[in-house]
Chain A
Amino acid sequence: MTITLSETMTLNLLLLTLACFGIGAAGALLTAPWPRVSRLVGHACALVGAIGTLALGAAGLAGGTLGVIIPALLPVGGFSLGIDRLSAFFILVIAVAAIPSALYAIAYTRDYEGRHSLAGMGCGFNAFLAGMVLVVLARNALTFLLMWEVMSLASYFLVMTEAEHGETQHAGWVYFVMTHAGFACLFVGFLLMARATGTMDLGEWRAASVTVSEPMRYAVFALLALGFGTKAGVIPLHIWLPKAHPAAPSHVSAMMSGVMIKLGIYGLVRIGFDWLGVGPSWWGGAILVVGAISAVLGVLYALVEQDLKCLLAYSSVENIGIILLGVGGGMLFQSYHLDALASLALVAGLYHTVNHATFKPLLFMGAGAVVHATGTRNMEELGGLIKRMPQTAAYFLIGSVAIAALPPFNGFISEWLLFQSLLLSFQISATGTNLLFAAVVAALALTSGLAAACFVKAFGITFLALPRSEYAKRAREVPWMMRGAMGMSAVACLVLGVAPVGLLRLLNATAADLTGAHTDAHFNWDVIVADGAFAMASPLWIAVALTSLLALVLVALRIIGANARRRAYETWGCGRALQTSRFEYTSTAFANPFKRVFGLLYRPVKELDIRFHPESPFFVETITYRNEARSIFDEALYGPMSRLVQWASHRARIVQSGSVHLYLLYILVALVVLLALAG
Chain B
Amino acid sequence: MLTQILIEAIQLLLVGLGAPLLVGLVRRVKARLQGRRGAGVLQPYADLRKLLVKEAVVSETTSWIFRFTPYLLVATMLLSSLLVPLLTTLTPLGFIGNIIVLMYLFLLGTFFLALAGLDAGSAFGGMGSSREMAVAALAEPTVMIAIFAIALRVGNTGLDEIVRRGADDSLLLLNPGHLLAFVAFFIVALAETGRLPVDNPATHLELTMIHEAMILEYSGRHLALIEWAAGMKLLIFLALLSNLFFPWGVAMAVTPAALTVAFVALVVKVGTLAVGIAAIETAVAKLRLFRLPALLSGSFALALLAVISFLFVK
Contact = CB atoms under 8 A, between A and B. Distances in A.
In this complex, the interface size class of chain A, counting residues with CB under 8 Å from chain B, is 35 or more
A674 interface: no
Contact of B290 (A407, A445, A596): A596
A538 B127 contact: no
A452 B121 contact: no
A668 interface: no
A590 B104 contact: no
Interface string A440-454: 011111101110110
Contacts of B139: 449
Given A406-B104, A553-B75, A585-B123, A534 B145 contact: no
B243 interface: no
Contacts of B56: 563, 565-567
Contacts of A584: 121-123, 126
Residue of B60, B130, B221, B289 with most partner-chain A CB within 10 A: B130
B254 to A, nearest CB: 20
B131 interface: yes
A47 to B, nearest CB: 33
Interface string B116-132: 00111111011101110
Interface in B41-82: 52-61, 63-65, 67, 71-72, 74-76, 78-79, 82
A460 B140 contact: no
A541 interface: yes
Contact of A553 (B78, B107, B108, B293): B78
A423 B147 contact: yes
Nearest to B56: A566
Nearest to A434: B311
B136 interface: yes
B217 interface: yes
A151 to B, nearest CB: 36
Contacts of A423: 147-148, 151, 157
A453 B115 contact: no
A68 interface: no
A542 B121 contact: no
A452 B216 CA distance: 22
A678 interface: no
Q: Is the interface of A mostly helix, strand, loop or mixed?
A: helix
A563 B134 CA distance: 35
B118 A464 contact: yes
A597 B130 CA distance: 13
A660 interface: no
Given A549-B78, A566-B56, A572-B217, A431 B130 contact: no
A444 B100 CA distance: 13
A534 B141 CA distance: 21
Contacts of B127: 585, 589
A422 B144 CA distance: 11
A419 B102 CA distance: 13
Contacts of B236: none
A449 B136 contact: yes
B126 A590 contact: yes
6 nearest A-B residue pairs (beta carbon): A585-B126, A449-B137, A465-B121, A449-B140, A445-B144, A453-B133
18 contacts: A383-B121, A386-B63, A404-B111, A457-B130, A461-B118, A464-B119, A465-B119, A466-B121, A533-B161, A538-B97, A541-B96, A563-B220, A566-B220, A567-B55, A569-B58, A569-B60, A583-B121, A585-B129
